[in-house]
Amino acid sequence: MNDPYLIPNSFVLKNKLNITNQEKLDIAESAISKAKLHSILDVKGNFDYKHLMDLHKHILGDIYEWAGQPRVMDIEKAEPVLSGMSVQYSNHKQIPTEAVAAINKLKNVNWSNLDTYEQKAEAFSKNMATLWQVHPFREGNTRTITEFCVQYAATQSIFLNQNLFAENASFTRNALVMASIGEYSDFSHLNRIVKDAMESGDKARVSVKEKAEQIKSTSKDIFSLKGVKEIDAKNKAQQDQTKEKKRDHSR
């Protein structure tokens, strides 16, 4: 099938940067998308299909004209962990329907009833993999869907360390592949990194909270009556020393 996304007689995606070399495009895409992720929270939405599209457009809109739009063709990708076979992604005509269904499943989970990291990681992994298998976009699915799911989890007071996914991008994608092969799906790898991301995310929040409490406590001491008196006494002592030095010089 002819791929309308490719530069003619090439395997390189058409792009706004007019790059025709795959290696150079990979470098540019990585750098630009990482920079765009710093402002990703500026993209507001209701964690629905449109929100998913908007996140993708924000991340890759400076590179591809079609960013923020579902793919218009069926795709296959040879996966090393599947000995060159591909995950069976959604038919492109079914993307809106199947993406909406996957998002609704994610949002219908009663997250407050899940007590352990294991329970939360299992539910998160299952729903993330379901949405990922739809593969709504020609490129940028893992980045966009990870961001979408992590942001949604935060609204349910489940905080994941996003950097863990970014720093282990290949592992994350391979884990998603293994969790998306029907009856043979293996969620163990995805559960593992999701659980680690939840645990490290909570530890980071506790650390930030403790530092904030320390600053707050210090501020209270500074602006308490005792603190003000100590500062006044210190200032007075310095002033007395200055006056004494001036007297010595005038003698």
pLDDT in tens, 82-93: 999 999 999 999
The answer to whether residues 140 and 60 touch, using CB atoms and an 8 Å cutoff, is yes
Closest CA to 135 of 81, 172, 180, 184: 180
Residue 191: both structure tokens together: 């559960």
Rounded to whole angstroms, how far apart are CA atoms 223 and 47?
Answer: 43
C-alpha 109/C-alpha 37 separation (Å) is 27
Average pLDDT, the chain: 90
For the stretch 193-226, pLDDT in tens is 999 999 999 998 876 555 555 555 555 555 555 5
CA dist list (Å): 247 to 235, 237, 239, 240, 244: 19, 15, 13, 11, 5
Q: How confident is the model at residue 237 (pLDDT cuts 50, 70, 90)?
A: confident
Determine contact, residues 169/142, Cβ cutoff 8 Å.
yes
Please name the residue that has the structure tokens 């962990």: 81
pLDDT, tens digit, 9 for 90 and up, residues 123-134 = 999 999 999 999
CB within 8 Å of 105: residues ≥ 6 apart: 127, 130
* Mean pLDDT of the 148-161 span: 97
Do 51 and 107 contact (CB within 8 A), yes or no? no
Closest CA to 61 of 38, 93, 29, 92: 29
Question: What are the pLDDT digits (tens) for 95-119?
Answer: 999 999 999 999 999 999 999 999 9
**pTM for this structure?**
0.82
Retrieve residue 173's tokens: 């994608």
For residue 33, name the pLDDT band (cuts at 50, 70, 90).
Answer: very high
Q: How far apart are CA 108 and CA 120, in angstroms?
A: 14
